[in-house]
Amino acid sequence: MSLLDKLLGRRPRTAANIAAELSARGAELTAAKARMASAVMKRAAALDAQDAVALKAVDDEAAADGLTAELAAHAIAALEAAHAERIKVEEREQFRADVASAEREAVAMTASLQAEYPEAAQRLAAILDRMAKHRANEDSLRERGRKLGESVKISNATAFRDGPQRWRVTWPGESGGQIVGSPEDAPRGSIRWVGGKPVAARDGVTVEPRRVESADSLLDAIKYLPGLLYGDAPYYRASEPWVPPPRMPV
């Protein structure tokens, strides 16, 4: 029987069980050392009392505690080595289990995405078709306007949510020059709010709209999703049936 078999008995050699036994043996070692330290004072007292019986009893107890400490220290050394090795084994086992779980998730997700993709692609294609037709109409109107000498201003049709409006404020610095900042940075009384928009409230102050930050385009975002099936075109038109691309031979 190996030392670990002796120490752990029928308990599985898991890192948790080894750590528990390691803690118990550590407590034994600490207690034995404490008793050995106490025996030094007891032995001195027995010597002063010239009590041979008490002296022998103290020496016997100290010897027993020394053996207990030696056994505990030997067990601790073996348990520490086994615990470190078991940690490595369990980390590798957990890693392999996580990889297998990720593979199962990938297989399930692939099946789900391939089932949902055709409908999603057609809906997206319908939006893109409408936007493309609108832009083509805009271009046609601008060309007609150019020939007629008419200016054409049509609101931008977008399917994407605009970000919050930002403002750029400038005001005179105390030592000259201009300071640039946001409405929150401007000196008190230099701007006022009208209809939710900041306007200059004194001479030398200017307020200008900054470029509106927009959320990322869906088209830009989906380009970076791994595993999406595009086919030969960036998207499938709603009028065209979706056909899965041929799979490469393994």
Quick: pLDDT tens for 17-60: 999 999 999 999 999 999 999 998 999 988 888 989 999 999 89
Closest residue by Cα to residue 67 from 29, 96, 124: 29
* CA 106 from centre of chain: 19
pLDDT of residue 127: 74
Q: Which contacts qualify for 213-218: CB closer than 8 Å, 24 or more apart?
A: 213/163, 213/164, 213/166, 214/158, 214/160, 214/161, 214/162, 214/163, 215/160, 215/161, 215/162, 215/163, 217/160, 218/124, 218/159, 218/160
The mean per-residue pLDDT over the stretch 224-233 comes to 48
Question: Which carries the bigger pLDDT value, residue 245 or residue 158?
Answer: 158
Least confident range of 105-119, 122-136, 180-194: 122-136
Taking the alpha carbons of 15, 16, 21, 22 in that order, is the dihedral positive or negative? positive
- Alpha-carbon span 66 to 115, nearest angstrom: 72
Q: φ, ψ for residue 108 (rounded to 5)?
A: -65, -40
Closest residue by Cα to residue 152 from 137, 161, 162, 142: 142
DSSP 57-106: HHHHHHHHHHHHHHHHHHHHHHHHHHHHHHHHHHHHHHHHHHHHHHHHHH
180 - beta bridge partners?
Answer: 170
Question: Alpha-carbon dihedral of residues 106, 108, 113, 115, nearest 10 degrees?
Answer: 150
Range of 2-16, 17-31, 103-117 with top mean pLDDT = 17-31
3-state class (DSSP) for residue 5: helix
Q: What element of type H or E holds 221?
A: helix 218-222
- Alpha-carbon span 62 to 33, nearest angstrom: 10
Q: What angle do CA 123, 117, 110 make, to 5 degrees?
A: 165
Per-residue DSSP letter, 162: B
Q: What element of type H or E holds 171?
A: strand 167-172
pTM, 2 dp = 0.44
